[in-house]
């Protein structure tokens, strides 16, 4: 994720652009990664739908580098815009990009930006979404696509689409988590004071992100400490001392901010780590138990059986990571 470009059209919605742009730019600002971030488009200067003019927009490039991310930003959908030269040039460019797709390219449609992807033929046979007001219109425009509603964003391989406006932020954080890890995504979200969100039909958040929808920096610091020391025995008093609170006060505050106890949060992280290690490594259960902070395989199994449907042996066999001692 070294090159991220934002296709910016006339009548663009500022928050559709600014939200994901801010998230991606923060990665570089924090020193977590070096990303070439830019706005490209059919015109060097465009009037946003809100009363502001955007300038210094780069021309549409002939090619994008490998492993690029392209955000196609939503605009005010008017008949005049969709008949314009700017729209047609962008559609032609996207169609060519789809045919000559650079290796590792991911295309992200934000809000009504999905209609540019639709005109370019990039939604045929794919799962996608858009702003809730445009769901019927998109289904009519692209009958070959499966348009999902009540979703923050939809990921179908190298095509990602979001519901619009602030959901572009959720989509960008999802990409950051995949490229740089959940810890960086959490830091970016905290820097921008935004929450991780899902609607009812969306895939669930990971344990690390699930209880981060609060703005209490002391509790975030405690969550960071728990996450970084899953293999250690960390006491309540140690955590409380880090944030200058009493153990009792920290326990009450943690529950109020996150909805779970410190112990429940720690177990959720440990189960999440155990699941990843079982499905993506060849470590023995003894080593997995130690990495997750359990003193024995029996302790790991006891917690596992309370929270998981499949036993470790079946989970590992299904993931192709089976071992004789699993």
pLDDT confidence of residue 318: 58
Domain 3-191 matches domain 214-326 at the CATH topology level: no
pLDDT confidence of residue 206: 79
For residue range 268-304, list pLDDT tens digits in order: 999 888 888 888 778 888 999 999 999 899 999 888 8
pLDDT confidence of residue 200: 67
Domain ranges within the chain, ordered by starting residue: 3-191, 214-326
pLDDT confidence of residue 319: 53
214-326 folds as Arc Repressor Mutant, subunit A (1.10.10)
E-state strands within 138-265: 146-147, 153-156, 159-162
Reported pTM: 0.80
pLDDT confidence of residue 126: 95
For residue range 4-38, list pLDDT tens digits in order: 999 999 999 999 999 999 999 999 999 988 999 99
pLDDT confidence of residue 324: 38
CB 17 within 8 A of CB 57: no
Q: Which of 324, 257, 269 is nearest to 294 (CA)?
A: 269
CATH no. of 3-191: 3.40.50.880
Q: Quick one: tokens of 291?
A: 């990495």
CA dihedral over 73, 105, 27, 188, signed as positive or negative:
positive
pLDDT confidence of residue 124: 96
Ranges of residues in the chain whose predicted pLDDT is under 70: 200, 316-326
| d(C-alpha 240, C-alpha 242), whole Å | 5
């Amino acid at each position: 994720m070294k090159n991220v470009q934002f296709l910016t059209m006339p009548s663009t919605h500022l928050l559709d652009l600014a939200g994901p742009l801010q998230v991606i730019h923060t990665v570089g600002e924090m020193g977590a990664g070096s990303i070439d971030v830019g706005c490209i488009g059919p015109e060097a200067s465009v009037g946003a739908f809100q009363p502001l003019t955007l300038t210094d927009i780069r021309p549409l490039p002939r090619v994008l580098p490998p492993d690029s991310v392209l955000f196609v930003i939503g605009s005010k959908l008017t008949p005049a815009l969709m008949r314009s030269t700017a729209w047609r040039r962008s559609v032609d460019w996207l169609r060519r990009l789809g045919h000559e797709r650079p290796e590792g390219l991911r295309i992200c449609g934000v809000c009504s930006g999905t209609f540019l992807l639709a005109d370019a033929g990039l939604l045929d046979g794919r799962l996608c979404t858009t702003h809730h007001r445009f769901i019927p219109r998109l289904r009519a425009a692209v009958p070959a696509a499966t348009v999902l509603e009540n979703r923050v964003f939809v990921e179908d391989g190298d095509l990602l689409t979001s519901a619009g406006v602030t959901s572009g932020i959720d989509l960008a954080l999802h990409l950051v988590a995949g490229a740089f890890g959940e810890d960086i995504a959490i830091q970016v979200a905290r820097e921008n004071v935004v929450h991780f969100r899902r609607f009812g039909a969306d895939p669930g958040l990971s344990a690390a992100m699930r209880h981060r929808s609060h703005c209490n920096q002391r509790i975030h610091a405690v969550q960071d400490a728990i996450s970084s020391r899953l293999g250690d025995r960390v006491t309540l008093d140690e955590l409380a001392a880090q944030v200058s609170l009493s153990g009792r006060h920290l326990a009450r505050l943690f529950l109020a901010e996150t909805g779970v106890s410190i112990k429940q949060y720690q177990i959720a992280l440990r189960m999440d780590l155990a699941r990843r290690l079982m499905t993506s490594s060849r470590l023995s259960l003894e080593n997995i138990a130690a990495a997750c902070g359990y003193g024995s395989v029996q302790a790991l199994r006891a917690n596992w059986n309370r929270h998981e449907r499949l036993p470790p042996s079946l989970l590992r066999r299904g993931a192709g990571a089976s071992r004789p001692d699993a």
